[in-house]
Every structure is written in C-alpha cells, then in structure tokens.
C-alpha cells in the first residue's frame, strides 16, 4: 500500500481569510437601514458588511440578530425598532409576522410603488449599464398601482395538513414547510377563502386524511381555488396522492352546498414525493372542465392546469400598455413568443393583421386555440415548440414580423431567441418582464440593434416584492 496522504493544514492567513466576518451568528447589532432589496428585506451595514433584515424599512434604526453569514453578506432577524420609518404602517393581516407571503404589508402603498420603480431602475443601471437618471436616461415611469390593492388574487394554492386530529390549511411560514393555519388571506379573492374554509371543514368531518410530506402518507395534498373575477365562476381542485377518495359523493355534494358559485370540481393526482403541486393526471369530478373570465373584451376559458395571470385587473393594465407599445395599425404581422394560453396574442389580434403565437407547452397551445375560437378571433395562429426553433422556421417560410412581443419566465429569454430577434430585425420589440434583472440582461443584448425607448413598471402583486414591467424597443 502507498503512503497515506497527509491532510494539508490551513495556514493562519488562509484561516483568517475564511473567517473574517465582522459579525458572528447570534450577535445582536444596531443598524441604520438604508434600502430594500428585491425581496423587500431591509438593507443595512455593520462595519461595511451588508445585512439583510426582513420587515425592516429604509430610514429606520434597528437592533437585529445575525442568523446567517456568507462571505459578502448575511441575514438577520429584526429584534427591535429603535427609530421607526415615517412610511411604516400597521399590517392588517393577523399572521403577517409568521406567513411568508406578503413581505411589504408594513410599508405604505405609495412607497411600495416608488420602491418597485427604483428596483427596475437599479437593475437597468447595474446589470444592463443603461442610464436611468439625468440627460439621455431611459424613462422608467412611475409604477402603475391599484386603487384598492387588496383581495386581488384569483387563484389560491393551499397546502393541507393535520393538527390535533383536525385539518389545517394555509401558507408556509417564511423559510419553512410549516403550515400557518389561515381562515382569510387579505390578498385573495373572498371566494378563494370560502373554498379553502369549506374543504378544510368538510374533509375534516368526513375524516379524509391530509398528506404528510415527511412520511408520504395520507391523501389530500393541496386545495387549489380559482375564481373568474368578472364572472364569479368558481373552480375547486383537490390534489390527492391517489385516485380513490373515500366518501367522494358526500364530499362533492357538501362542497356544492357550501360554495353555491362553484361551477367545477376537479381532482388532480400527484403520487410523487415532490414539492411540485400538480401531478400529470387530472379529471373532472363534477360540473364543467373550465371556468370563464374576461380581461378587457377578451373571454378566456381557464382549466385546472391553465396558467392565467392571478391579478386580472392589473393584467388588463399590463396588456393595454403592451398593445400601446406595439403601435399597431392593422397592417402588422406580430409574433408573440412565450404566448401561453394566448392572453397577450388575443389582445394584440384586435389591432394586428395577424398574430403568430409560440409556446413550448402543448396544453397551453390547446387552450390558446380554444380561446381564439371562443372569441371568434381568426387572425391568430399558434404553434407548439421552443420559440428559438419555431420562429426561424417561420422565417424560412417567408413569415416576417413587424413587431415581436416576448413575455418570458423569470429566467428571461433563451439566448437563441435573442439571436433570432436580432436576425429578424422587426421594427419594434415589446418585452414584458416579471424579473427586472433578466430584463436588464436581455435588453443589453438587444441594444446591438435596438434603442430602449421607455420602461413601464406595473404592480401585479401588491404587498410583495415582485414587480412586472413592459419595455419598448425601436430598431436603430
């Protein structure tokens, strides 16, 4: 046998480099909070070291306890507010301090809108290298908010658990999988609260067991409630670990009695050990396969698995801005990359010569075609596949786009799609974004051929750190 290799000892200098944080775990420090990060946590510095403190606000002096430390930054829990911000308000939600859902309820809503505008500006400057202040700056307009920023969500996805023999339903505590039992959520449509309460009560009475994700036992994993904000239609989706539901007919009848507006009761079966909510098999237990809603004049069919924007009031604002930026006269061909169920495509089709939508999810394209037929829209064509593959194929067939609209997921546009846009050279590109950092990254690439004219933030998710925005690019 060869000699045993000796383990190298870290030199004193190397050891010092590894552990030279100016804070230690459990240490309580006083901080001046100077800003908010993109998730809504307060930002302060101790001896030059950055600490993120949830529920702290700019302008406050606080005491915070360090709970996690990395090389360049750490996290701390708010212990005491020594000097409160003038913009701090009392959060109306009774579980705000426990729930991980709304990180900004304690900040005055007008200030939330200013913060979201600043987040977009900061990302454009830091990641994209774009000027956002002074001469030659890209206009980043004030965030378009809501008159009443409550009860806006048309979909609730609620995990089910058990406690002391009864069922609980709510949202996870921040940074954990511990369910906070909730009877009302102030950003959910009231109909969603009604569904969750009813299912929790009825399933408890019928002794239908909740899923235990540790032991992978039990039946009822999630309740998903959907409501058509303009129609009042309600869908109840029961996500279970297997197809068999004990006392199923009693369960269905009790839900129908408890929620008179229900139009559809659906079961989704998810047998896997996973945090993903839905499984592959979905079946209608009672009523219709879909419910309906309108965004502006366009009617949409919403199935259990359909992606549909959760704030229909602000979705209309976002899409109207997208339509305005597209600058359509009725003579243009428009390509809608990442078209989903056709929500933006059908809005654009009102004023375009023809719209071509592409989406990688086959079920979404089926929904898009159904929604086009539902509205009698004949100038929209949809195709399944990756945008970066389908769009060049359209180009080979002689299809030319005057305008390209992109509405990518949080990871932003595929690099190949950006290359395709640069090669196709449409007159305008309208970029709808749910992530300011990937928006800034992608605009930097498109700047090779395009001028970024302006950016409009839209508050789709009041009281959270998320911000949507839409950018207009004109070809140089």
In the predicted structure, residue 446 carries a pLDDT above the cut 50: yes
Encoded tokens for 103 = 């990180």
Q: What is the pLDDT of residue 19?
A: 55
Q: Per residue in 48-96, pLDDT tens?
A: 999 999 999 999 999 999 999 998 999 999 999 999 999 999 999 999 9
Q: What is the pLDDT of residue 176?
A: 82
Exposure string (b/e) for 251-279, b if CB count within 10 Å is 16 or more? Answer: bbebbeebbeebbbbbbbbbeeeeeeebb
In the chain, the percentage of residues whose pLDDT exceeds 90 is: 87
- Who has greater pLDDT, 317 or 5? 317
From CA 470, how far away is CA 476, in angstroms rounded? Answer: 19
- For the sheet with 262-269, list strands across it: 179-181, 166-172, 155-163, 220-227, 234-240, 262-269, 281-287
Q: Per residue in 259-311, pLDDT tens?
A: 999 999 999 999 999 989 999 999 999 999 999 999 999 999 999 998 889 99
Here the contacts of 366-370 (C-beta below 8 Å, separation 24 or greater) are: 367/301, 367/303, 367/306, 367/341, 367/342, 368/339, 368/340, 368/341, 368/342, 369/342, 370/301
The pTM score is 0.91
Encoded tokens for 220 = 């009822």
- In this prediction, residues 208-220 reach a mean pLDDT of 94
Q: 258 pLDDT band (50/70/90 cuts)?
A: very high
Beta strand pairing call for 28-36 and 61-69 = antiparallel
Q: 12 pLDDT band (50/70/90 cuts)?
A: very low
- For the sheet with 403-406, list strands across it: 380-384, 354-359, 333-337, 403-406, 428-433, 468-475, 450-458
Catalytic residue among 99, 339, 413, 434: 434
Query: Would residue 308 be called left, alpha or beta, if left means φ above 0 and alpha means ψ between -120 and 50 degrees?
Result: beta
Q: What is the DSSP string of 336-360?
A: EET-TTTHHHHHHHTTSSEEEEEES
Helix or strand or coil: residue 292? strand
Q: What is the pLDDT of residue 427?
A: 97
User: Tokens 């009813």 identify what position?
Assistant: 198
Domains in the chain, ordered, with CATH?
19-83 (2.40.50.140), 155-295 (2.40.50.1070), 311-475 (3.40.50.150)
Q: 474 pLDDT band (50/70/90 cuts)?
A: very high
Q: Per residue in 173-183, pLDDT tens?
A: 877 888 999 99
- In this prediction, residues 414-439 reach a mean pLDDT of 96
Q: What is the pLDDT of residue 287?
A: 98
Q: Per residue in 189-207, pLDDT tens?
A: 999 999 999 999 999 999 9
**Active-site residue flag, 434:** yes
Q: Residue 94 to residues 98, 99, 180: CA-CA distances in angstroms? A: 9, 9, 11
Q: Which of 124, 217, 239 is nearest to 473 (CA)?
A: 124
From CA 191, how far away is CA 91, in angstroms rounded? Answer: 22
From CA 473, how far away is CA 180, in angstroms rounded? Answer: 44
From CA 347, how far away is CA 334, in angstroms rounded? Answer: 11
- In this prediction, residues 145-152 reach a mean pLDDT of 97
Residue 80 belongs to what H/E stretch? strand 73-83
From CA 200, how far away is CA 106, in angstroms rounded? Answer: 29
From CA 224, how far away is CA 267, in angstroms rounded? Answer: 10
In the predicted structure, residue 365 carries a pLDDT above the cut 60: yes
From CA 109, how far away is CA 447, in angstroms rounded? Answer: 34
Average pLDDT, the chain: 93
- Who has greater pLDDT, 15 or 253? 253
Q: Which of 354, 349, 347 is nearest to 333 (CA)?
A: 354
């Amino acid at each position: 046998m060869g000699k045993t290799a000796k383990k190298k000892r870290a030199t004193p200098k190397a050891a010092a480099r590894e552990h030279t944080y100016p804070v230690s775990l459990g240490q309580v420090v006083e901080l001046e909070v100077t800003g908010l990060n993109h998730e809504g946590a307060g930002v302060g510095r101790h001896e030059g070291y950055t600490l993120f403190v949830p529920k702290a606000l700019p302008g406050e002096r606080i005491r915070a306890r360090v709970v996690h430390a990395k090389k360049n930054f750490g996290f701390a829990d708010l212990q005491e507010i020594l000097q409160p911000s003038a913009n701090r308000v009392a959060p109306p939600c009774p579980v705000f301090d426990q729930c991980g859902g709304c990180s900004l309820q304690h900040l005055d809503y007008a200030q939330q809108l200013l913060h979201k505008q600043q987040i977009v500006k900061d990302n454009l400057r830091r990641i994209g290298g774009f000027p956002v202040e002074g001469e030659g700056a890209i206009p980043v307009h004030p965030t378009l908010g809501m008159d009443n920023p409550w009860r806006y969500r048309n979909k609730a996805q609620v995990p089910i658990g058990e406690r002391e023999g009864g069922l609980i339903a709510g949202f996870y505590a921040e940074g954990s999988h511990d369910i906070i039992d909730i009877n009302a959520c102030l950003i959910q449509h009231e109909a969603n609260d009604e569904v969750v309460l009813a299912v929790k009560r009825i399933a408890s009475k019928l002794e239908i067991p909740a899923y235990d994700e540790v032991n992978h036992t039990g039946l009822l994993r999630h309740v998903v409630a959907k409501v058509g904000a303009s129609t009042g239609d309600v869908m109840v989706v029961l996500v279970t670990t297997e197809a068999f539901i004990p006392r199923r007919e009693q369960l269905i009848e009790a839900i129908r009695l408890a929620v008179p507006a229900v139009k559809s009761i659906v079961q989704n079966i998810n047998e896997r050990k996973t945090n993903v909510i839905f499984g592959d098999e979905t079946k209608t237990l009672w009523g219709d396969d879909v419910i309906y809603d309108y965004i502006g004049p366009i009617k949409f069919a919403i199935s259990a698995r359909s992606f549909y924007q959760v704030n229909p009031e602000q979705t209309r604002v976002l899409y109207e801005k997208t339509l305005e930026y597209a600058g359509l006269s009725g003579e243009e061909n428009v390509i809608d990359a990442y078209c989903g169920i056709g929500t933006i495509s059908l809005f654009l089709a009102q004023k375009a010569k023809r719209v071509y939508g592409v989406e990688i999810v086959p079920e979404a394209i089926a929904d898009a075609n159904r929604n086009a037929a539902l509205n009698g829209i004949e100038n929209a064509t949809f195709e399944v596949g990756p945008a970066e593959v389908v769009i060049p194929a359209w180009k080979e067939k002689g299809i030319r786009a005057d305008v390209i609209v992109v509405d990518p997921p949080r990871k932003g546009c595929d690099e190949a799609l950006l290359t395709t846009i640069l090669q196709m050279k449409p007159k305008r590109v309208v970029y709808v974004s749910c992530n300011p950092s990937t928006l800034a990254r992608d605009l930097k690439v498109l700047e090779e051929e395009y001028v970024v004219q302006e950016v409009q933030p839209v508050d789709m998710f009041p009281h959270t750190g998320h911000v949507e925005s839409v950018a207009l690019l004109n070809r140089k």
